[in-house]
Structure 1
Amino acid sequence: MEVEKDKKLSFLDILVYKKINGTLGHTVYRKSTHTNRYLNSKSHHHPAQLQSVVKTLITRSKRLTDEDNMHQETVNIRTALLQNEFSKTNISRAEKPTQRKDDDTSIPIAKSCLPYVRGMTDRIGESFEDITSKPSSQPTKS
């Protein structure tokens, strides 16, 4: 059970606190033992997995932090990601809002999971992209 301390209370990943004006504020909560250690960008993982570390931390901060704490949380995330050897370019790219594409779900898609082997898995994935980007010979629904 968590107990309020100094007008602050942690709940899951959120630190809720009472502001001077009596309203509540919130930001990302980190335990005192938190070390900013995440998957290092130089590790042997697929680039999409590495980029998901950056995107997840940024998305988490936007969802859990109010306007009063957003700047400090952005500084915290950038510091942590730089400590884990992510480039400033990757961080900036992930901070930009993305637009979702409308997916055509009328045609079933076969999915396959492969272990990541640097150089090999990327080439296999590119082969599948070539196949899926070609116009389909299947009739379309009207």
Structure 2
Amino acid sequence: MGSPVSPITANAFMEHFEEKALSSFRNPPRFWGRYVDDTMVVIKKTDVHDFTKHINSVHDAIKFTVEEESDNCIPMLDTMITRNPNGCLSFGVYRKPTHTDQYLDFASHQPLEHKLGVIRTLTHRAKTICSDQDTLNTELHHVKRALSVCGYTKWAWNTPQSRKLDPKPNARKDTAPPKGHITLPYVQG
């Protein structure tokens, strides 16, 4: 913990672990995807119990839990994956049931760029994750409603800075690099 080598070592170990676990199961999953400690697995329903028992027996310190799809949907990280009747997948933004929709209050004493960054980030996430226009429109409506409760006005949404993804919109390529910087925190009053 705390070492910059830790994530690399953990990933190397998990790759070894996965190779050993998947190659030694009689009927391995059709798909196995992992991001840090979350995995997405496509496997026959009849093999779920046996596979979970098998993979939990590979190493004493590594234990997996199972979350099966419900109503053809399953969450993975910030994404809700839905299996459509035609077999295709669709994607939308997922929030845990405990999510409160509380974001940086627009009336707080924070730089305006941070507040507009909340709009940019949530909008970008919706546009990146949502796989169809209806899901995107529903998500953007949800974000606007949640942020309006936090004091975000129509003006904030329509400001060009709330739509740009460039972190330095005023940066010019022909300017000399800065020689240094000073950070002055804002203290109210």
* TM beyond 0.5: yes
Q: State the aligned residue count.
A: 119
1:106 Cα offset (Å): 7.0
What pairs up with 1:23-102 in 2 under 5 angstroms?
Answer: 23-67=88-132, 68-93=134-159, 96=163
Q: Which amino acid aligns with 2:124?
A: T
**Structure 1 runs (4+) greater than 4 angstroms displaced:** 94-102
SS in 2 for 1:16: strand
State the alpha-carbon separation in 2 of the partners of residues 98 and 52 from structure 1: 9
State the alpha-carbon separation in 1 of the partners of residues 188 and 85 from structure 2: 53
Please, which moves more after superposition, 46-55 or 103-112? Answer: 103-112
State the alpha-carbon separation in 1 of the partners of residues 123 and 131 from structure 2: 13
1:103 Cα offset (Å): 3.8
> Could you tell me which residue of structure 2 aligns to residue 11 of structure 1?
76
TM-score by structure 2 length?
Answer: 0.55
State the alpha-carbon separation in 2 of the partners of residues 62 and 114 from structure 1: 35
Runs (5+) with no aligned partner, structure 2: 1-64
Higher RCO, 1 vs 2 (CA within 8 Å, ≥6 residues apart): 1
Q: 1:85 to 1:60 in 2, by over 3 A?
A: same
SS in 1 for 2:101: coil
State the alpha-carbon separation in 2 of the partners of residues 33 and 83 from structure 1: 18
Tell me the percent identity.
29
Backbone CA RMSD of aligned residues: 2.4
> Quick check: 1:46–1:118 contact (8 Å CA) kept in 2?
no
SS in 2 for 1:34: coil
